[in-house]
């Protein structure tokens, strides 16, 4: 393990330790928050979370169109990938997708890595559009500095993925060994309308999940506030430093978003911790569902 890996691991577990200590110190507030939680809204949030992963499964099926794989198997892979991505530190769980595709569907690690890369590029484009739309509709709630900052971030989130696929049009890059191993039907050089639409809907339901959690916990935010909060805090999930169960990233992102919306850091931290507990519950439940889904053998080897 390289020095930067040790540093990332150390920071990740430090974040977890800090969050655990804060949860212990704020345990009375957390208990009081969950005592009055709205169970129907928590169920609506879980339903939105399931819709999010059904759409992720549809996108994965579109990205793996070079091989026939049963939808149930792909849903299992998505559930487990989401579970590992959330609970493993240092964003190491994200790398489980190629391994799961190899284990359950016999897709090579090279192709599985390409599928993961394209998924993340599509996520960046979707988050960029969400951030842009949220900034436009929330312009009266934020300062000119934040408008400029979020405008630049949204442009970068959209422009970088398109710049990368543009570079693949050059022969010297397209002929690299990695790209030569990809099936003819798998395209990294463009994003289809179907892929973009599915990615946008995925993050729409992520926002619906967060909105349901916020309503369930009686957090004083409007529907538009939630979209703005979602758009500005979720890019932090791309940071390679992550504590166990997303500890640290979630709290930092939510507190930062709350501060922009005018909520004090102390109150924002209480809301962030309470919402984190609810999200962990969703991830754990869907991960258990993924473990219980049997693997089917409906697949066709790629050429």
Whether the predicted pLDDT of 4 surpasses 60: no
Q: Is residue 141 part of a domain?
A: yes
- Count of domains observed in the chain: 1
Cβ contacts of 285-289, under 8 Å, gap ≥ 24: 285/46, 286/49, 286/50, 286/53, 286/79, 286/82, 286/83, 287/79, 287/80, 287/82, 287/83, 287/87, 289/79
pTM (two decimals): 0.80
Q: Given this model, what pLDDT does residue 290 score?
A: 85
Q: Do the domain assignments include residue 68?
A: yes
Mean pLDDT of the chain: 75
**Half-sphere exposure in the Cβ direction for 256 (13 Å, CA):** 15
Range of the domain at 116: 3-292
Neighbours of 210 (CB within 10 A): 24
Please compute Rg for the chain using Cα positions: 20
pLDDT digits (tens, 9 = 90+) for 123-140: 988 888 887 877 777 666
What's the whole-number mean pLDDT along residues 140-166? 79
Is a pLDDT exceeding 50 seen at residue 1? no
144 has a pLDDT exceeding 50: yes
Question: Regarding predicted confidence, which is higher, 150 or 298?
Answer: 150
Report the SS3 class of residue 2. coil
Which of 82-91, 249-258, 283-292 bottoms out in mean pLDDT, i.e. has the lowest? Answer: 249-258
Averaged over 197-221, what is the pLDDT? Answer: 87
Tell me, yes or no, whether 297 lies in a domain: no
Nearest to 122 by CA among 165, 89, 73: 165
Report the chain's terminal Cα–Cα distance, integer Å: 36
Is 233:3 a contact under the CB 8 Å cutoff?
no
Mean pLDDT lowest among 100-104, 107-111, 248-252, 262-266: 248-252
Q: Is the pLDDT of residue 5 over 90?
A: no
Whether 214 has a pLDDT exceeding 80, the answer reads yes
Q: What is the pLDDT of residue 303?
A: 41
> Is position 222 within any domain?
yes
Q: Is residue 235 part of a domain?
A: yes
Domain assignment of residue 299, yes or no: no
Q: Is residue 301 part of a domain?
A: no
Residue 196 lies in a domain: yes
Task: Output 290 or 176, whichever has higher pLDDT.
Answer: 290
């Amino acid at each position: 393990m390289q020095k930067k890996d040790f540093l990332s691991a150390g920071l990740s577990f430090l974040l977890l330790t800090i969050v655990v200590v804060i949860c212990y110190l704020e345990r009375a507030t957390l208990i009081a928050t969950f005592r009055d939680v709205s169970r129907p809204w928590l169920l609506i949030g879980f339903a939105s979370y399931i819709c999010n992963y059904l759409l992720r499964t549809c996108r994965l099926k579109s990205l793996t169109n070079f091989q026939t794989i049963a939808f149930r198997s792909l849903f299992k892979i998505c559930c487990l990938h989401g579970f590992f991505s959330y609970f493993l530190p240092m964003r190491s769980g994200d790398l489980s997708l190629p391994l799961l595709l190899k284990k359950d569907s016999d897709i090579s690690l090279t192709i599985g890595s390409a599928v993961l890369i394209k998924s993340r590029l599509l996520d960046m484009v979707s988050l960029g559009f969400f951030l842009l739309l949220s900034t436009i509709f929330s312009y009266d709630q934020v300062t000119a500095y934040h408008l400029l900052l979020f405008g630049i971030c949204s442009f970068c989130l959209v422009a970088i993925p398109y710049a990368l696929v543009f570079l693949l049009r050059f022969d010297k890059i397209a002929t690299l060994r990695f790209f030569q191993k990809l099936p003819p039907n798998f395209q990294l050089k463009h994003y289809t309308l179907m892929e973009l639409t599915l990615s946008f809907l995925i993050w729409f339901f992520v926002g619906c999940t967060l909105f349901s959690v916020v309503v369930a916990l009686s957090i004083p935010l409007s529907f538009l506030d939630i979209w703005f909060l979602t758009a500005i805090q979720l890019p932090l999930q791309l940071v390679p430093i992550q504590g166990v169960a997303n500890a640290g990233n979630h709290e930092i992102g939510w507190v930062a978003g709350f501060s922009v919306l005018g909520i004090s850091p102390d109150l924002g931290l209480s809301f962030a911790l309470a919402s984190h507990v609810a999200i962990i519950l969703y991830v754990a439940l869907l991960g258990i569902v993924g473990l219980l889904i049997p693997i089917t053998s409906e697949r066709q080897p790629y050429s």
